[in-house]
Structure 1
Amino acid sequence: LFDRVTVAVAASAGKAPFFTAQQRLEMLAPNVAQYPNVTLTTFNGLLVEFCMAQKADAIIRGLRALSDFEFEFNMALMNRHLEPRLETLFVMPNEEFSYTSSTLVKQVARYGGDVQKFVPPNVAAALRAAYASARHPPSPA
């Protein structure tokens, strides 16, 4: 669809991510290394301003379920209001993963469940390590 794709990790999202923006970027890197037209970066502030600075033509967003649509639709309309030249494209997941969310994946990982079906192996390993250390903190000396 595009000659180049920039995967932008929000550093200042309204959510409280489990991993820092830099950690998420580092986990993404090996999973897109085979695509020479894909670049990775972080950003702060409004996505639409970041897109304009990058000379992007479009934002690609995933829709898992109808519950995602209202939020994403409103965000796309706001972005269009802020920058009419910027398009938003929605993509749907394989039905097999339509119920999956980062919250559910983290919950499964927190209790030691296998999340490799939902995330790349390096991300599953990072979640496993992070939650294992949280379950078994170092003993006081």
Structure 2
Amino acid sequence: MQQRICLFPGTFDPITMGHVDVINRAVSLFDKIVVGIGINSSKQPMFTVEQRVNWIHDIFKGDPRVEAASYTGLTIDFCKQINAHYILRGIRYVSDFEYEKAIADMNRMLAPDIETIFLTTAPAYSTISSTLVRDVIRNNGNVRMFVPEEVKW
């Protein structure tokens, strides 16, 4: 039987409690979730790829079903490389769904054998985004309630 491998792509700059919530709820649906850190040359991240990969390893060290990797290029090409037939996306608001559906539709046209699965975030985490967390960090604010304890810089 083929393993059910799912890619959860994003920048995870940094990984938030919302991301962790989605992964924890999705892990029972798949044999393996690869948290894929997409490298986009047009974006300048706050944290290095190595830092973000290490955080994911530390957060999920007790669960062999969760792995971390970085990739460049199309998400569907990385899915093929790791033999993932599913893409996981977290949805916070209706506006997220509209944006994510457009990407899912494009991916489906390019790779009809790869399904996109949407999970809504728990209400407690729906306002947390990596962008907002970075803004708080830049302004020397306390982000402890928004990121896992393993996220240190």
- TM-score normalised by structure 2 residue count: 0.76
In structure 1, the residue matched to 2:20 is none
Q: Does the aligned pair in 2 maintain the 1:10–1:21 contact within 8 Å? A: no
Quick one: percent identity of the two aligned structures? 39
How far apart in 2 are the matches of 1:26 and 1:119?
A: 14
1:109 paired with 2:146, answer no
Q: In 1, Cα distance between the equivalents of 2:108 and 2:149? A: 36
Residue 100 of structure 1, aligned match among 128, 131, 144 = 128
Say whether residues 1:4 and 2:32 are aligned partners. yes
Shift of 1:104: 0.9
Structure 2 counterparts to residues 21-40 of structure 1, below 5 A? 21-40=49-68
Where is the helix percentage greater, Structure 1 or Structure 2? 1
Could you tell me which runs of 5 or more consecutive residues in structure 1 were left unpaired when the two chains were aligned: 127-141
Between 1 and 2, higher relative CO (CA 8 Å, sep ≥ 6) is seen in 2
Contact 1:11 1:20 in 2 (8 A): no
Task: Report the alpha carbon displacement of residue 87 of structure 1 after superposing the two structures with TM.
Answer: 0.3
The amino acid of 2:77's aligned partner reads E
Are 1:55 and 2:91 matched, yes or no?
A: no
Q: Does residue 20 of the first structure (1) align with residue 48 of the second (2)? A: yes
| Consecutive unaligned residues in structure 2, runs of 5 or more | 1-28
Q: Which structure is larger by alpha-carbon Rg, 1 or 2? A: 1
Q: How many residues align?
A: 125
Shift of 1:122: 2.6
Residue of structure 2 equivalent to 1:89: 117
Task: Tell whether 2:146 aligns with 1:121.
Answer: no
Task: Give the CA RMSD over aligned residues.
Answer: 1.4
- Helix, strand or coil for the counterpart of 1:121? coil
Q: By percentage of residues, which structure has more strand?
A: 2
**Secondary structure, in 3 states, of the residue corresponding to 2:150?**
helix
Report deviation, 1:14. Answer: 4.6
Q: C-alpha displacement at 1:27, in angstroms?
A: 1.7
Q: TM-score, normalised by structure 1?
A: 0.82
